[in-house]
Every structure is written in structure tokens, then in C-alpha cells.
């Protein structure tokens, strides 16, 4: 991976090739952007609910929750915007061949995203944040709905692009001005690719789960500090109920989604299951690496696994234990199997953990002891960043599993990189993005911490300056 | 689908040119609207009073994000209509483009994070980020635009003058916008900065065009010596002078109106200098760089109505936040 360098080599900055640096930069910047985008997507329904309840019932609890979460939303939105703008230029700066080849297909959706969704969000967020005294109640509630609608719509258009990259159709390769490019032939097919409905539902629901866990964690922390905080007891309940619906749904949906991936991207599916030889596939429920090799090269023979024989075939085919599943041996070039395999396991494992947490919460709620169980409150505080961990690892499965292709079966990632880009420039900007975005995430966590502090002070909870707790989100979720 | 959308012919013969115009329109909206945001950020550096600072931030708060979306609209419309230009332009100006988006990041975060914590040091950092981002962003964007239009290296007069010109015109519009929205006590010094920047801008544009004619950068000399360019320059000088007179007479709304025409005229100048190519360094003309008829027809049919809707929202937004501002937000 690394080209050999000597310390004396003046080009040491270029130790990352343009391709590797561009990929790392794209992966890193989108991983950070998606945290904030998912925050907007997932928080929007909570905000609409709190605003609506507040206006309908005039209940002080909802006014408090609305005001707190709108502040979180606003901070997250700004960070989503400032990290989103670099994303929209990186197709050109780092992957110009990709933008040239796919321009006709991805340009339209990206432009619709800007015109239909971003403007809507940005304009009405201005009203939501600064316009309380300037517009009527109705317009105000409507603004919250429009901001949420904008977030869901922007998710839709961006996923139109990504789904097309996974299962491209509706185009034909032609030569124009000496370049081979994809020319749009069927807009409906190109927008509504087979992957899109799967991806959209899974992603929106993942955002809701991630935010429900965040809301639950913050509420649990505040309730723990101040048991009779009525608003936060309510928020905890709402979050548990949301989880109870969304977490099991995600697992059921993910299971069917896996079969769809097997149908459309068998190579990726084989990487997800570390299935090397074509033939019957087992499903590894649990896999423990037995050596260092097994971590970086997970094959059945060097893992200690608890497997269901034939179930991989059963899942992939939808009912046949003996079905043949294509193995990685069929392909010349494979994605980094270990990353895909372990990412998939982290996502699915967390998915089951969330179901367990939801059921535990439902049981306590049924007994009326939700806010009394210290153990549950602590568990929810610890779990608050895990939704994001599942969301990121899921994306790593989707994106890294697609490698070496950037457009499945059509364009390889290393052919999409800029020929004009030097390793030094690419490494320099990668370093800049790493530094700036780490600072950005730290700031976001501090802002959340200050907001929680302010809330606790407002509620009259005793100050917690030194109980050793550093914000509800441990600072580990950036890129795990 | 394709029954009602022509596959082999553009909806109207001149659709590629219309899209060149539409992309330039988005660029112009961006330069006009985010331009005064940059100006507010630069002028912010001249204040030491906390109350005045909050007044400036209140003018900036509700609108900057929506203004910035015009940049995304410009970029994505360029990608949708002229993908090769989008790719080559960004890939060829890699460090400038990344530097510019990072400057925008600092500009956007500073003011939003400032109020999150009541601590002087924290506020100083946030202010620094706001001012530096606001000054660097138009500078880098201008240098990039200079390289784009004149095919000149980064450290060349045409590129640097374009960058400085964009900073100056941002200060003009920022000063006029603030003068129109704040009380007379604050407007007075703004007037001075605004007029100074107007002079710098007009001088810069004339110097830039002279340099380009002398060196024939990007082969643009002939175009510059043509009547449309002469008319645009004359119109810019006229708006600058008229604006300054309005400013001196205290007619700040009229000042704002003439100030805003300056970046608009600048965008028209860019369009005139580029056309019929879209990116002179590659020699690609509008017709060569444009996407196929079906793709362009589709983006037109779906995108143009939405663009009109967006203009309507902007009218709504600026309507809600019209009128004078005070430090604690928009007073009545
Ligand atoms: C809270 C987050 C979360 C949770 C709990 C789950 N997922 Fe997921 N998953 C995602 C978040 C996610 C995602 C948002 O990251 C992805 C990436 C692309 C996509 O559409 O959704 C994804 C993709 C994704 C894919 C397709 C990858 C591709 O497109 O190549 C499959 C097969 C699954 N998931 C399966 C599951 C299963 C069986 C789960 C069982 C519990 C599960 N997911 C829980
Ligand atoms: C939102 C969550 C996403 C995450 C976390 C994510 C993550 C990643 C990662 C880690 C890679 C690198 C793969 C590798 O190098 O092995 C990658 C590649 C890529 N992704 Fe995504 N991606 C996301 C969404 C998207 C979307 C929505 C698009 C397009 C609209 C996209 C476009 C690309 C492109 C063009 C590449 C190829 C460049 C590369 O290999 O690095 N991604 N992504
Ligand atoms: C390569 C992929 C992506 C690109 C190029 C991109 C681009 C952008 C841009 C330019 C903005 C700023 C808009 C503004 O100024 O308001 C933005 C914000 C946003 N993006 Fe992305 N984005 C990508 C991936 C995603 C994904 C995968 C999602 C969600 C599913 C998403 C959802 C959002 C949302 C909701 C916002 C609004 C800002 C916020 O609420 O945080 N984006 N994105």
C-alpha cells in the first residue's frame, strides 16, 4: 500500500499516492458529513413532534424539549452545511474522471438536491431559528415541517446517485469528444435503480435509530442527574418507543436487503460473508479471529465461528440450503475483505443490541420503572453514540464492498482519480481535512455538553463539574 | 417518459446556451448574495464594541446559509450541464478549490459557535475564524475565477487582481447592506469603507483589463476591446459613482441597490469573456461540453420550475427579515 520512502526523499509528503489519498479523503470527509446529515434526517421528526405538541397542548415539557433539540439541530445543521460543501466539489477535485463519465447521470440528481432540498432547508431554518416573533404560529410550525421535509428529500436525491453507482442502469456508453462516457438513455430507470428503495428506507430508518439513541442517552443522563425532570422523562419514553419500532424493523429489512445485495452484487455479498469458494455457504453467526491473520484475512479455516450450515445459501437464495453462492475466487480483483466482513458484523451486532435495549426499555416502561433503573439509564448513556457506529460501518460495507469499482461493473476507482493530482497535494489536503474535522467533531461534542450543562443548571440540578463524566458521547465515534 | 421528452434534440435549439446562462445566473446570485456576507465578515474586523458586533451578526445570521446554497447550485448545475468543465476546472485548481471550501467552513462556523459559550477567549477564536474565512474565501474564489477566465497561473496579475477585486466588491456590498439595515451611528464609518472599496474595485477592474490586453492572457484581448465589455465597464463605473453619491447623501437603500449591481455586472463580464468557450484552457465550447439532449431536457423540465420556486422562497425570506436590525435580533 505504501510506496517505500526514505527519510531523505524530499517528496516524503507524497507517501500516499494520489489515489490512496483521494480515497482516504473522500471516505473520511463523507464519514464526518454523514454524521451531521443523519442527525438532521433523524432529528427532524422529533422536532416536528415536539413543536406540534407544544403548539397544540401548550405543555411546558414540550416547549422545553423543542427549544433544546432545535439548538442541537441548528448546530448540527451548520456543521452539515460546512462539511457538505466540500463533498459537492470533491467529485471534481479528486475524482474528475468519475464526474466526467457519470456527469449526465449524477449531475441531474445532485442539482435537484441543491435546488429542491438544500434551499428549502436553509431558507426555512432561517425562519425557524430567527423568525419566532416575525411569523405566525402556523407558518412557524410549517417551517419546522419544511425543514424536515428538506432533509428527507436531500437524502433521497443523494441516494439516487449512490444507488445508481451500486446498480447502474438507464444509460449507454458512448464516445463523445474522444472520451467514453455514460449517456443517459432512460431517466426513469436511471433514477429509480433497483437499489434505491432498499437504500432509502434503510438509511432513513438508520438515521432515526441513531438519533433515538442519542435522544435516549441525553435524556437518560439528565434524568439520572435529576429524577423529576418531567420533560426528560417524557423524552426518554418517546425515544424508547421509537426504538421499539425502528430497531426490529431495521433487522428485518436488513435481512431482505442482504438478499437483494446477493442478487445484484454477488462479489460484495461474498466479501460480507468471507465466502471464498463458490459453493454452499454457511452463515457465521459469531466469528472470533484465532490469529492476527484471521483479522486481516477472515477465511472460514482460520476463524473460530459459530455457524449455521447452509444458512448463507438459504439467505442468499431465499429458501434453499444447498444453493450455490458465488465465491471471491471467481473474481480477479477483490475488495478488502476483512474491512467489509468485520464492518458488516459490527453493524448487525449493534442492530441486535439495539433491539435488546428497546425490549429492555419497553419492559421497564411497562412496569413503570423506566427512570428508576440506574442500570438502564447508564446503558443508554453508553449506547448513545452506537447508532452512529452502526451507520458508518453499514456505509463501509456498501462502499468498500463495491471496490474495486466506483460504478459497479463500469468504472474502476483507480481510473476515476485525477491524473493532474500530485501525491503531495492530495496528502496535504487530506491532512488538512483530518485536522479540521477532528476539531469540528470535538467542537460538536463540546457544544452538546454545554447545552446539557445549561439544561441541568436550568432544571436546578446540582453542578456536576467533576464527576469525571465527559459528555454523553465518548469521543470514539469518528471513524470506528 | 421519453415520449414527451425529445431524445435527440434539445427542447429548444438554444438550450445549451440557455444553460450556460443559467449556470452564470447561479454564479451571479452567489457572488451578489454571499458577497455581502463576506463583506459583513470583513467589516466585522473594524468593530471593537460587543454590541455592534452582535448587530452585524444579527444581520448575517438568518440569511447566510441560504445565500451559500447558491454556490452549491452553481457547482451542481455546472456538473449537470457541463460535466467536463466541472471536472477539469476543479481538478486543475485543486488546492485553490479545497482552500476555498475550507475558508467557507471557518466563515460559517465562527459566528454560529460564538454564542454557544460565554467566554472571551472562545469568542475571540470564533471572531478570528469568521473574519479570516470571510476575507480568504472571496480572495481564493476570485483567484480561481481569474485562472479560469484568463488561463493564467495562480501568482499572476490577472488571477491576483481578480481575487482582490472580488474582496473589494464584497466590502462594498457588505457596507451598503449594513448601512441600509443598521442605525446611523454605525452607518457613518461604513460609508467610508464602502466608498474606499468602490474606488479600489473600479481601479482593480480597469487595471485587470489593461493587464489582460497588454499580455493577451487567455487570448482575451480582442474581446476586452469590444463594445459589450466597454459597456459593462462603463456601467460598473456608473453604479460605483452613483452608489458613492447615494452613500454620502445618506440614501442607504439606493446605495445598496447600486452596490448590488456591481457583482452582477462582474458576472456578466465573466460570461462575456468566456463565451463561446466554457473553460478556455481546454478550448471546450458550450456546444462541445454540454450533456446530451435527453439529459439536458430532463434537467430543464424538472429544474427550471424549481428554480422559480426558489426565487420565491428568497423573496419570502428577505421579506420576513426586512427592516432594521438590532443586536438582539430583528427589532420591529
Ligand atoms: C443504525 C444503523 C444500522 C443498523 C442498526 C443496521 N444497519 Fe444495515 N446499513 C446501515 C445502517 C444500519 C447504513 C445506513 O449504513 C447502510 C449503508 C447503505 C445503506 O443503504 O444503509 C446499511 C447497509 C446494509 C446492507 C447493504 C450494504 C450494501 O448496500 O451493499 C445490508 C445487507 C444491511 N445493511 C443489513 C443489515 C442487517 C441484517 C441489520 C440487522 C440488524 C442491519 N443492517 C442493521
Ligand atoms: C454517506 C455515507 C457514505 C459513507 C460513509 C461512504 C464511505 C465511503 C468510503 C469509506 C469509500 C472508500 C472506499 C474505498 O476506498 O475502499 C467511499 C467511496 C466512494 N463513495 Fe462513498 N460513502 C458514503 C456515501 C456516498 C454517496 C452518497 C456517494 C455519492 C453520491 C458516494 C460516492 C463515493 C465515491 C465516488 C467513492 C469512490 C472513491 C473512493 O473509493 O474513495 N459515497 N465511500
Ligand atoms: C457524496 C455525497 C454527498 C454530497 C456531495 C453532499 C453534499 C451536501 C452539501 C453541499 C450540503 C450543504 C447544503 C447547504 O448548504 O445547506 C449538504 C448538506 C446535507 N446533506 Fe449532504 N452530501 C452528501 C451525502 C449525504 C448523504 C448520504 C445524506 C443523507 C442521507 C446527506 C444529507 C444531507 C442533509 C440532510 C444536509 C443538510 C444539512 C444538514 O442538515 O446537516 N448528504 N450535503
pLDDT digit string (tens) for A376-402? 999 999 999 999 999 999 999 999 999
Task: Identify the pLDDT of residue A304.
Answer: 63
**Across the interface, do A81 and B102 touch by the CB < 8 Å criterion?**
no
- For chain A, how are helix, strand and coil distributed in percent, rounded to 5? 70, 5, 25
| Helices assigned H by DSSP within B219-274 | 221-224, 227-248, 252-274
Q: Is residue A9 part of a domain?
A: no
**Across the interface, do B97 and A131 touch by the CB < 8 Å criterion?**
no
pLDDT in tens, A269-308: 888 877 777 766 677 666 676 666 666 666 666 666 666 6
Q: Name the residue of chain B whose CA is nearest to A136's CA.
A: B320
**Would you state the cell numbers that stand for residue B65, as one nine-digit string?**
446559509
Task: Identify the pLDDT of residue A259.
Answer: 86
Q: Is residue A471 part of a domain?
A: no
Q: Is residue A465 part of a domain?
A: no
**Across the interface, do B291 and A91 touch by the CB < 8 Å criterion?**
no
**Residue A456 host element (H or E):** helix A423-459
> What's the domain count of chain A?
1
CA–CA separation, B16 vs B276, rounded Å? Answer: 11
Which 3 state secondary structure label does DSSP give A169?
Answer: coil
Task: Identify the pLDDT of residue A4.
Answer: 41
Name the residue among B98, B102, B295 with its Cβ closest to that of A184.
B295
**Across the interface, do A119 and B313 touch by the CB < 8 Å criterion?**
yes
**Across the interface, do B69 and A114 touch by the CB < 8 Å criterion?**
yes
Q: A78, A107, A444: best mutation site toward chain B, by most B Cβ within 10 Å? A: A107
A93 lines ligand 3 (CB under 6 A): no
A89 Cβ under 8 Å from any chain B Cβ: yes
pLDDT in tens, A71-82: 899 889 999 999
pLDDT in tens, B129-162: 999 999 999 999 999 999 998 888 878 888 999 9
pLDDT in tens, A118-130: 988 888 888 888 7
Q: What is the ipTM score, two decimals?
A: 0.89
Query: A472 falls in which pLDDT band (50, 70, 90)?
Result: very low
Q: Give CA separation, A279 vs A72, A201, A276, in Å.
A: 50, 31, 9
Full domain range(s) for residue A234: 18-278+326-458
Q: Decide which of A53 and A136 is more confident.
A: A53
Contact, A265 vs A408, CB < 8 A? yes
Name the residue ranges covered by the structural domains of chain B. 16-296
A444 lines ligand 1 (CB under 6 A): no
Task: Identify the pLDDT of residue A12.
Answer: 53
**Would you state the cell numbers that stand for residue A350, as one nine-digit string?**
449493534
pTM, two decimal places: 0.89
Q: Is residue A356 part of a domain?
A: yes
Nearest CA to ligand 1 atom 36: A254
Percent of all residues in chain B with a pLDDT value above 70, rounded to a whole number: 96
- Give the residues of chain B that fall short of pLDDT 70: 1-3, 326-332
CA–CA separation, A76 vs A447, rounded Å? Answer: 10
Q: Is residue A53 part of a domain?
A: yes
pLDDT in tens, A300-354: 666 666 666 666 676 666 667 666 777 777 777 778 888 898 899 899 999 999 9
**Across the interface, do B80 and A75 touch by the CB < 8 Å criterion?**
no
Span from the CA of A83 to the centroid of ligand 3 (angstroms):
8
Comparing CA positions, the residue from A214, A207, A208, A216 lying closest to residue A235 is A216
pLDDT in tens, A13-35: 556 788 888 899 999 999 999 99
Span from the CA of A154 to the centroid of ligand 3 (angstroms):
7
Could you please state the CATH topology (level 3) that the domain comprising B16-296 is classified under: Formate dehydrogenase/DMSO reductase fold (1.20.1630)
Q: Name the residue of chain B whose CA is nearest to A433's CA.
A: B102
Residues 139-178 of A with CB under 8 A from B: 176-177
Q: Is residue A2 part of a domain?
A: no
Buried b (16+ CB within 10 A) or exposed e, A98-131: bbbbbbbbbbbbbbbbbbbbbbbbbbbbbbbbbb
Which 3 state secondary structure label does DSSP give A479?
Answer: coil
Task: Identify the pLDDT of residue B180.
Answer: 87
> Which ligand has its closest atom nearest to the C-alpha of A207?
1
Bridge partners, residue A172, by sequence: A183
Q: Decide which of A259 and A36 is more confident.
A: A36
Name the residue among B86, B88, B117 with its Cβ closest to that of A450.
B117
Residues 6+ apart with CB under 8 A from B25: none
Task: Identify the pLDDT of residue A5.
Answer: 40
A87 lines ligand 3 (CB under 6 A): yes
Å between B91 CA and nearest CA of chain A: 4
CA–CA separation, B278 vs A312, rounded Å? Answer: 53
Kindly give the number of the ligand 1 atom that is closest to the alpha carbon of A260: 32
Checking phi first, is residue B242 left (phi over 0); if not, alpha (psi -120 to 50) or beta? alpha
Residues 6+ apart with CB under 8 A from A77: A36, A40, A121, A125, B65
CA–CA separation, A284 vs A150, rounded Å? Answer: 40
CA–CA separation, B28 vs A396, rounded Å? Answer: 38
Å between A98 CA and nearest CA of chain B: 9
428538506: which residue's cell?
Answer: A150
Kindly give the number of the ligand 2 atom that is closest to the alpha carbon of A28: 10
Mutate to test the pocket of ligand 3, among A25, A33, A115 (most ligand atoms within 8 A of CB): A33
Residues 107-146 of B with CB under 8 A from A: 108-109, 112-113, 116-117
**Would you state the cell numbers that stand for residue B29, as one nine-digit string?**
446570485
Residue A272 C-alpha from the chain's centroid: 18
Mean pLDDT score across all residues of chain A: 84
Å between A449 CA and nearest CA of chain B: 11
Task: Identify the pLDDT of residue A290.
Answer: 64
Task: Identify the pLDDT of residue A475.
Answer: 37
Span from the CA of A30 to the centroid of ligand 1 (angstroms):
17
> Which ligand has its closest atom nearest to the C-alpha of A79?
3
Amino acid at each position: 500500500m505504501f510506496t517505500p520512502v526514505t527519510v531523505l526523499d524530499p517528496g516524503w509528503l507524497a507517501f500516499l499516492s494520489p489515489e490512496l489519498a483521494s480515497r482516504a479523503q473522500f471516505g473520511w470527509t463523507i464519514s464526518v458529513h454523514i454524521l451531521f446529515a443523519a442527525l438532521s434526517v433523524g432529528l427532524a421528526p422529533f422536532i416536528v413532534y415536539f413543536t406540534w405538541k407544544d403548539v397544540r397542548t401548550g405543555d411546558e415539557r414540550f416547549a422545553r424539549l423543542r427549544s433544546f433539540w432545535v439548538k442541537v439541530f441548528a448546530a448540527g445543521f451548520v456543521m452539515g452545511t460546512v462539511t457538505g460543501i466540500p463533498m459537492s466539489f470533491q467529485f471534481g477535485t479528486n475524482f474528475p474522471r468519475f464526474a466526467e463519465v457519470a456527469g449526465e447521470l449524477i449531475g441531474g440528481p445532485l442539482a435537484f438536491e441543491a435546488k429542491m432540498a438544500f434551499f428549502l432547508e436553509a431558507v426555512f431554518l432561517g425562519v425557524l431559528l430567527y423568525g419566532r416573533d416575525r411569523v405566525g404560529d402556523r407558518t412557524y410550525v410549517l417551517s419546522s415541517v419544511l425543514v424536515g421535509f428538506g432533509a428527507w428529500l436531500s437524502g433521497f436525491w443523494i441516494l439516487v446517485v449512490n444507488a445508481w453507482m451500486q446498480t447502474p442502469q438507464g444509460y449507454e456508453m458512448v464516445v463523445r469528444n474522444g472520451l467514453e462516457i455514460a449517456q443517459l438513455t432512460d431517466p426513469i430507470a436511471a433514477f429509480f435503480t433497483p437499489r434505491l428503495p432498499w437504500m432509502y428506507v434503510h438509511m432513513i430508518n438508520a438515521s432515526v435509530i441513531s438519533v433515538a439513541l442519542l435522544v435516549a442517552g441525553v435524556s437518560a443522563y439528565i434524568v439520572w442527574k435529576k429524577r423529576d425532570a418531567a420533560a426528560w422523562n417524557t423524552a426518554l419514553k418517546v425515544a424508547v418507543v421509537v426504538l421499539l419500532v425502528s430497531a426490529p424493523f431495521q433487522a428485518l429489512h436488513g435481512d431482505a436487503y442482504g438478499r437483494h445485495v446477493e442478487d445484484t452484487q454477488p462479489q460484495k455479498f461474498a466479501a460480507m460473508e468471507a465466502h471464498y469458494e463458490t459453493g454452499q455457504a454457511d452463515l457465521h453467526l459469531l466469528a472470533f479471529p484465532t490469529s492476527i491473520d484471521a483479522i486481516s484475512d477472515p477465511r472460514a479455516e482460520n476463524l473460530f465461528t459459530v455457524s449455521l450450515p447452509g444458512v448463507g445459501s438459504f439467505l442468499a437464495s431465499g429458501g434453499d440450503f444447498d444453493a450455490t453462492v458465488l465465491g471471491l475466487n471467481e473474481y480477479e480483483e477483490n475488495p478488502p475483505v476483512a474491512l467489509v466482513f468485520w464492518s458488516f458484523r459490527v453493524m448487525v451486532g449493534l442492530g441486535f443490541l439495539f433491539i435488546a435495549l428497546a425490549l429492555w426499555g419497553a419492559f421497564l416502561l411497562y412496569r413503570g420503572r423506566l427512570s428508576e433503573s440506574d442500570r438502564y439509564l447508564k446503558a443508554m448513556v453508553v449506547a448513545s453514540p452506537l447508532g452512529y457506529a452502526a451507520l458508518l460501518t453499514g456505509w463501509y460495507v456498501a462502499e468498500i464492498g463495491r471496490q474495486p469499482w466506483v460504478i459497479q461493473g463500469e468504472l474502476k476507482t483507480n481510473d476515476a482519480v485525477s491524473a493532474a493530482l500530485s501525491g503531495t497535494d492530495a496528502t496535504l489536503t487530506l491532512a488538512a481535512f483530518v485536522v479540521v474535522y477532528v476539531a469540528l467533531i470535538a467542537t460538536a461534542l463540546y457544544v452538546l455538553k454545554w447545552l446539557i450543562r445549561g439544561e441541568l443548571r436550568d432544571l436546578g440540578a446540582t453542578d456536576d463539574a467533576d464527576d469525571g463524566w465527559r459528555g454523553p458521547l465518548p469521543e470514539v465515534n469518528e471513524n470506528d | 417518459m421519453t415520449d414527451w421528452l425529445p431524445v435527440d434534440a434539445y427542447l429548444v435549439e438554444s438550450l445549451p446556451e440557455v444553460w450556460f446562462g443559467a449556470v452564470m445566473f447561479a454564479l451571479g446570485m452567489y457572488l451578489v448574495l454571499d458577497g455581502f456576507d463576506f463583506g459583513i465578515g470583513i467589516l466585522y474586523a473594524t468593530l471593537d464594541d460587543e454590541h455592534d458586533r452582535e448587530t452585524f451578526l444579527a444581520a448575517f445570521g438568518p440569511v447566510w446559509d441560504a445565500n451559500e446554497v447558491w454556490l452549491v447550485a452553481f457547482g451542481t448545475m455546472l456538473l449537470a450541464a457541463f460535466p467536463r468543465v466541472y471536472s477539469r476546472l476543479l481538478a486543475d485548481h485543486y488546492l485553490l478549490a479545497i482552500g476555498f471550501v475550507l475558508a467557507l467552513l471557518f466563515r460559517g462556523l465562527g459566528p454560529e459557535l460564538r454564542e454557544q459559550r460565554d467566554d472571551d477567549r472562545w469568542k475571540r477564536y470564533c471572531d478570528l475564524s469568521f473574519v479570516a474565512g470571510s476575507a480568504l474565501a472571496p480572495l481564493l474564489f476570485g483567484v480561481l475565477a481569474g485562472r479560469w477566465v484568463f488561463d493564467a497561473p495562480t501568482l499572476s496579475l490577472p488571477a491576483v487582481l481578480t481575487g482582490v477585486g472580488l474582496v473589494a466588491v464584497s466590502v462594498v456590498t457588505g457596507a451598503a447592506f449594513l448601512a441600509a439595515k443598521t442605525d446611523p451611528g454605525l452607518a457613518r464609518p461604513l460609508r467610508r469603507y464602502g466608498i474606499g472599496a468602490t474606488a479600489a474595485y473600479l481601479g482593480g477592474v480597469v487595471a485587470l483589463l489593461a493587464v489582460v490586453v497588454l499580455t493577451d492572457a487567455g487570448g482575451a484581448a480582442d474581446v476586452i476591446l469590444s463594445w459589450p465589455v466597454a459597456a459593462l465597464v462603463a456601467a460598473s463605473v456608473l453604479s460605483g459613482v452613483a452608489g458613492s453619491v447615494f452613500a454620502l447623501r445618506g440614501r442607504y437603500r439606493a446605495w445598496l441597490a447600486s452596490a448590488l449591481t456591481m457583482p452582477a455586472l462582474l458576472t456578466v463580464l465573466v460570461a462575456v469573456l468566456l463565451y463561446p468557450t466554457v473553460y478556455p484552457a481546454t478550448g471546450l465550447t458550450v456546444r462541445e461540453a454540454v450533456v446530451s439532449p435527453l439529459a439536458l431536457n430532463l434537467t430543464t423540465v424538472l429544474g427550471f420550475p424549481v428554480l422559480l420556486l426558489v426565487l420565491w422562497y428568497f423573496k419570502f425570506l428577505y421579506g420576513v427579515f426586512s427592516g432594521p436590525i438590532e443586536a438582539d435580533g430583528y427589532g420591529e
